[in-house]
Structure 1
Amino acid sequence: MAVGSAREKFPNDLLLVQFLRSAKRCANQRPYIHDHFGYEKSFEELIADILRMRELMRQQLPASAFSERGVFKDEAPYVAVLTRSGYEFIVAFFATRVLGGAPIPFGSGILPEEARYFVNSSKASCILAGSDCYEKAERIASISNGPTDSKTISIPIVCDSEPVKEIDVTIDETLNMDPRGPGLVIFTSGTTGPPKGAVLPRICMVFQPDSPANCQTVCFRPPHWLGGAISLVEPMLTGKQVHILRERAGVDNIWKVFRNNQITGTGFTPGVLREMKEWLETQSEDEQEEYLKAFKRIGVIHCAGAMVSPSVLKFWKSRTGLVFNNVYGSTEVGGLATFKCLDGTERSDAIGVAFPGIKVKLADGDHGEICVKSPFMLTHYIGDEEKTKAAFDDEGYFKTGDFAELKDGEYIFSGRANTDYILFRHYRIPSVQVEVALTALPYVTEACVLGVPDHEAKQICAAVVRLTREQEKLQSRHGERIIDLARLRADMNETLPKYMLPVLVKILGPGEEMPQTVSHKPIKNQIIKKCFGVEKSWSAENSIPGVEYWGSMPAPEEADTKLWDWLGLQRADFKAEA
């Protein structure tokens, strides 16, 4: 297409500079984006859709929404995005950025009333809607309030433009966008508390360097989680072909993409790696080898979002021999903070050292809350100066709410404030440490440890456990619980003191799931209700099928089994109370 006035150019946003460089380098490759929702697109088609989408937004939004230079005014830069398709999100993301705005991706299953909260709190001017989400977007817009002088409207995302003949779009060097200005909004804290809109800067997803030729990746995460948004946008910036799976595609489809294509890199969560492991183990030996041969092309396994279990780590190291990077980060820090290359012999809660260019410290020197300073971290929470101020320390470090210890120059993850510490009588139990001990058992593949409210003990240590497929078969074959709470406690006491052992356990049956967020993080308040039947507080009189209870005090024979089992904090009449 011919480039005309400055209004037809892209603003000088570092992300757009890299995007155009990548698009020109990868021109004339069709298709480049493989979206299983039904799109096969080249960069020429993507550029055309972005330009048409930009013009559609300019036409349908009031002129007062834009500055004289044709970009969103600073006071109202936010645009909501509702879609099931990865390609539709990519179009909406870049069209919004070309207008100087910041997209807010919604989950496709969001309720209109929930979306209204996000729209109203951000003062989003419009909702860009995918092909089968427009009706819901209209409903959301009808009950939402836009900027002060206008009503929020819904606009369909354009995906059928004629491709440009040549990618000759340029950057307007006179229209500079502040790298620290708003570039993306992710609503976070889905497990506890009200959602907060974390505003990430424009520079957040600027990646270097360009990828080598013929790189391919796969995206299987939705964009309303930062990991999903990055996995869709990053290939457009670095020049990778991307295969985008449908929502809830299942790990069998992830495996098929690996087998049928030349995937050279992607990222995983511990939950996805566990599910991929379990699915692979159901295949014949020949099929396993075929899938693993294709999988090994990625070269490095990047795992983020939670702590991988020892059994899952051991599987991937032994079956692939690949480098395994355990990555720690969060939405607010812009994705990544630290990493540790695990060889399978170290503890799986080791999170290593800071990425280059990122500063990390612990609040109390060699232990305490993890604090991060990064050029990619959030600038503020939308409409909440109080929470924004509370999120940073006096040196400008973001306080993550996670805790760690510093050992031999590397960080060891120890849990999250409030939700990952169990206040059991006089004791403070780090749930992550208990989870590590559980998943280190050869017959356990997944565990979630949490504090269940108890009138007498404040909280009691509870665990939801998934057994390996082999152990599940043994349980079923013998018609009895070969693995039960007593066995778990006995085996865990080899590595944990008594006060840290679970006293309440739910063993998941085949196919049974615990409540989780889209990024496979457990929603602990829902787990307490669903798995243990607790509304307010646990009662020993509760009779919940499949749940075993040990009691909130140790048995007499356990009270002083070995030194430091109870940290020396037990009362003198400990046995008498049992």
Structure 2
Amino acid sequence: MPSESKYPSLPIPDVDLWAFLFERKDKPYPDDKVIYFDPHTSRSYTYAQVKASAIDFGKGLKALWDWQKGDVLALYTPNCIDTPAITWGTHWAGGILSPANPGYTVDELAFQLKDSGAKGLVTQLPYIKTAKEAAKKVGLPEDRVILIGDGRSSDGLTKHFTSIRNTSGATRYRRTKLKPSEDLAFLVYSSGTTGHPKGVMLTHRNIVANTMMIKAGEGGSLHWKGGATGEGDKILAFLPFFHIYGLTCLIHQSIYSGLQLIVMPKFDLEDFCNIIQTHKVTFVYLVPPVVLLLGKHPVVDKYDLSTVRMMNSGAAPLTKELVDAVYKRLKIPIKQGYGLSETSPTTHTQPWADWDKTIGSVGTLLPYQTAKYMSPDEKEVPVGEVGELWIKGPNVFKGYLNNPEGTKHALTDDGFFKTGDIGYQDKDGHFYITDRVKELIKYKGFQVPPAELEGYLVAHPSINDVAVIGLYSEEQATELPRAYVVPKEGVEKSDKAAKDIIEYLNAKVASHKKLRGGVRFVDDIPKSISGKILRRVLKTKALEEEKVKAKL
């Protein structure tokens, strides 16, 4: 029998995100509560200011760009406290937001702009060159590239979003009405094993449902009043807003529950510790490589992190050793959660009270969902047995953009999403993820598709054949991409040749896709009769090599 959530399921309002957040009758905190705060500039937004800025931006889009329902606005920027106003202003105008990794190259960004059909692009001044080159490549007019953040352009053409907000004649425009279950709120891109990322279509209902699900999972413990500071809980936000984890758990949860979000543009350990100490942060969403640093790095001893009541790790598996090391050093408990882009994202989280009882578990099923583990021949397996996790619920995505075949393979006729992750549940309803069907490499929570890297590498003049796998690094607490290369005849298998290959690939891809696991030369790539690369064979070989190396 499929598992059901043990949480009470309150009715999900049949409204779009704008109405859910800004037309609600049950908001438990005042309009002047500061929700988003930049610790480096001390700029901030109260609930009322976010709402007003979003309305003005939405009106500006309609007036200046003739914005229509379903138009896509792309976002190419690190974390910024202007992002929420841009997000909900786009929704107010009936648009869809499509965030992109600010580490993308021109080609990677151009692919997303073209695939999503973006009608505009938002960036920050340090990223303007790449943004404009990508826009030009897909025929997006230069004046449709606009800025957020503190920098201003001196070229006389590139507008700041505040000038879009203040467009004359915009006051006559009204909010676009949307169908929550049909109309998209976000188009997030999730890397596939076949190379190019896939556009994950998330509706307004998906995000409304997931925000309520997160509230159920955290709501009994995170408060807008009380907490360590007396001002309410403060969440440190360094997880990227271009990722669904940051979009829902950080941006949406904070404004829905009245929590203050302290926004970091990117992760830096000393900055992270300093902000916690200075601003008395009480809760942090993080990823395993940061947990590793908190357990081992000497800089942590310089700071008082005692206001943190709990941390939640997601995006990649977390080991008991890492949780224990941090608790022993800092007395800060760390629980774990689980989700995917296709599930908006959070499906499971460990209850606060159980963090130390079920370390290694991703927790229990959040409300509204049904889940089951399936055998390779798609039969449900009993409790305790290993299978592929399938999930059904109002948080499950609509499908992949321009990819009916991918959608058909991912979603069953009765609405279950095949996660591609392998695991089991125990008799008490705690879920465990042990492996994954998909071949994606996870580097610090980012997805790295091996086929994409192989596509670049096979074009190298010195390479005959290649396979890329991810190998787990204890030292960095994440998988690292490594290439196994069959060199062309006459090419020397040297350190210099390996270095040349690494530099060749690294120049073509975003930072998280770099060959941090190095290059190994081999005589052939193991493949099945049908020509599929047998990555498990390579992984076994690599692990054996590491064991031999450790003995020397």
TM-score (norm 1): 0.63
SS, match of residue 397 in structure 2: coil
Alignment map for 1:25-174 (pairs within 5 Å): 25-29=29-33, 32-34=36-38, 36=40, 39-62=43-66, 65-66=67-68, 72=69, 76-145=70-139, 153-157=144-148, 158=160, 160=162
Q: Which residue of 1 aligns with 2:229?
A: none
**Cα distance change of structure 1 residues 360 and 23 upon mapping to structure 2, 3 Å threshold:** closer
CA offset at residue 198 of structure 1?
A: 0.5
Matching residue within 210, 221, 224 for 1:212:
224
Give a deviation string over 1:499-525, Cα, whole Å, max 9, x none: xxxxxxxxxxxxxxx99x99x9x86x9
Q: Which residue of 2 aligns with 1:308?
A: 318
Q: Work out whether 1:229 is the aligned partner of 2:259.
A: no
One-letter amino acid of the structure 1 residue matched with residue 239 of structure 2: R
The CA distance in 1 between the partners of 2:204 and 2:345, in whole Å, is 14
Q: Which residue of 2 aligns with 1:511?
A: none
The CA distance in 2 between the partners of 1:82 and 1:454, in whole Å, is 34
CA offset at residue 223 of structure 1?
A: 1.6
Alignment map for 1:280-299 (pairs within 5 Å): 281-282=298-299, 284=301, 287=302, 290-291=304-305, 293-295=306-308, 298=309
**Cα distance change of structure 1 residues 124 and 35 upon mapping to structure 2, 3 Å threshold:** farther
SS, match of residue 325 in structure 1: strand
The CA distance in 2 between the partners of 1:109 and 1:549, in whole Å, is 29
The CA distance in 2 between the partners of 1:450 and 1:161, in whole Å, is 43
SS, match of residue 251 in structure 2: helix
Q: Is the 8 A contact 1:23 1:43 kept in 2?
A: no
Give a deviation string over 1:520-569, Cα, whole Å, max 9, x none: 9x86x9355x254569649xxxxxxxxx98968x99xxxxxxxxxxxxxx
Q: Which residue of 2 aligns with 1:240?
A: 259
Q: Work out whether 1:419 is the aligned partner of 2:430.
A: no
CA offset at residue 417 of structure 1?
A: 1.3
Q: Which residue of 2 aligns with 1:490?
A: none
Q: Work out whether 1:13 is the aligned partner of 2:16.
A: yes
One-letter amino acid of the structure 2 residue matched with residue 61 of structure 1: W
CA offset at residue 245 of structure 1?
A: 0.9
CA offset at residue 86 of structure 1?
A: 1.6
One-letter amino acid of the structure 1 residue matched with residue 368 of structure 2: G
The CA distance in 2 between the partners of 1:24 and 1:160, in whole Å, is 29
Q: Is the 8 A contact 1:54 1:96 kept in 2?
A: yes
**Cα distance change of structure 1 residues 130 and 58 upon mapping to structure 2, 3 Å threshold:** farther
The CA distance in 1 between the partners of 2:543 and 2:99, in whole Å, is 45
**Cα distance change of structure 1 residues 276 and 450 upon mapping to structure 2, 3 Å threshold:** same
Q: Is the 8 A contact 1:328 1:336 kept in 2?
A: yes
One-letter amino acid of the structure 2 residue matched with residue 372 of structure 1: I
Q: Which residue of 1 aligns with 2:515?
A: 526
CA offset at residue 322 of structure 1?
A: 5.0
Matching residue within 371, 376, 394 for 1:360:
371
SS, match of residue 332 in structure 1: helix
Matching residue within 187, 190, 202 for 1:188:
190
CA offset at residue 135 of structure 1?
A: 4.3
Q: Which residue of 1 aligns with 2:278?
A: 260
Give a deviation string over 1:437-464, Cα, whole Å, max 9, x none: x96xxxx673648998699xxxxxxxxx
SS, match of residue 45 in structure 1: helix
The CA distance in 2 between the partners of 1:270 and 1:370, in whole Å, is 22
Structural RMSD (CA) = 4.3
The CA distance in 1 between the partners of 2:32 and 2:359, in whole Å, is 47
**Cα distance change of structure 1 residues 446 and 351 upon mapping to structure 2, 3 Å threshold:** same
Q: Which residue of 1 aligns with 2:348?
A: 338
Q: Which residue of 2 aligns with 1:403?
A: 422
The CA distance in 1 between the partners of 2:61 and 2:346, in whole Å, is 33
**Cα distance change of structure 1 residues 368 and 127 upon mapping to structure 2, 3 Å threshold:** same
Q: Work out whether 1:387 is the aligned partner of 2:406.
A: yes
Q: Is the 8 A contact 1:12 1:173 kept in 2?
A: no
One-letter amino acid of the structure 1 residue matched with residue 97 of structure 2: P
Higher RCO, 1 or 2 (CA under 8 Å, sep at least 6)? 2
The CA distance in 2 between the partners of 1:139 and 1:163, in whole Å, is 25
Q: Is the 8 A contact 1:277 1:312 kept in 2?
A: yes
CA offset at residue 13 of structure 1?
A: 2.0
One-letter amino acid of the structure 1 residue matched with residue 373 of structure 2: L
SS, match of residue 432 in structure 2: strand
Q: Which residue of 2 aligns with 1:503?
A: none
**Cα distance change of structure 1 residues 54 and 526 upon mapping to structure 2, 3 Å threshold:** same
User: Structure 1: 5+ residue runs without aligned partners?
Assistant: 1-10, 67-71, 422-430, 456-513, 539-547, 556-578
The CA distance in 2 between the partners of 1:550 and 1:195, in whole Å, is 29
Give a deviation string over 1:194-249, Cα, whole Å, max 9, x none: 200101111333334584232321110222211122213332232222211122x4
Q: Give the number of the structure whose alpha-carbon radius of gyration is greater.
A: 1
Give a deviation string over 1:16-36, Cα, whole Å, max 9, x none: 432455989432346853253
Give a deviation string over 1:56-95, Cα, whole Å, max 9, x none: 2113324xx52xxxxx1xxx43211122342232221111
Alignment map for 1:412-451 (pairs within 5 Å): 412-419=432-439, 446=477, 448=479
CA offset at residue 379 of structure 1?
A: 0.6
The CA distance in 1 between the partners of 2:422 and 2:35, in whole Å, is 45
CA offset at residue 50 of structure 1?
A: 1.8
Q: Which residue of 2 aligns with 1:274?
A: 292
CA offset at residue 372 of structure 1?
A: 1.0
TM-score (norm 2): 0.66
The CA distance in 2 between the partners of 1:407 and 1:12, in whole Å, is 36
The CA distance in 2 between the partners of 1:536 and 1:195, in whole Å, is 28
**Cα distance change of structure 1 residues 356 and 30 upon mapping to structure 2, 3 Å threshold:** closer
CA offset at residue 401 of structure 1?
A: 0.9
User: Structure 2: 5+ residue runs without aligned partners?
Assistant: 1-13, 149-159, 226-231, 376-380, 442-468, 487-505, 527-540
SS, match of residue 281 in structure 2: coil
**Cα distance change of structure 1 residues 101 and 31 upon mapping to structure 2, 3 Å threshold:** closer
The CA distance in 1 between the partners of 2:324 and 2:270, in whole Å, is 21
One-letter amino acid of the structure 2 residue matched with residue 314 of structure 1: D
The CA distance in 1 between the partners of 2:93 and 2:161, in whole Å, is 18
Q: Is the 8 A contact 1:16 1:98 kept in 2?
A: no
Report % sequence identity: 16
**Cα distance change of structure 1 residues 19 and 316 upon mapping to structure 2, 3 Å threshold:** farther
SS, match of residue 81 in structure 1: strand
**Cα distance change of structure 1 residues 99 and 411 upon mapping to structure 2, 3 Å threshold:** same
The CA distance in 1 between the partners of 2:479 and 2:371, in whole Å, is 27
The CA distance in 2 between the partners of 1:413 and 1:109, in whole Å, is 29
The CA distance in 2 between the partners of 1:268 and 1:551, in whole Å, is 32
CA offset at residue 367 of structure 1?
A: 2.5
SS, match of residue 199 in structure 2: strand
CA offset at residue 340 of structure 1?
A: 3.8
SS, match of residue 367 in structure 2: coil
CA offset at residue 151 of structure 1?
A: 9.8
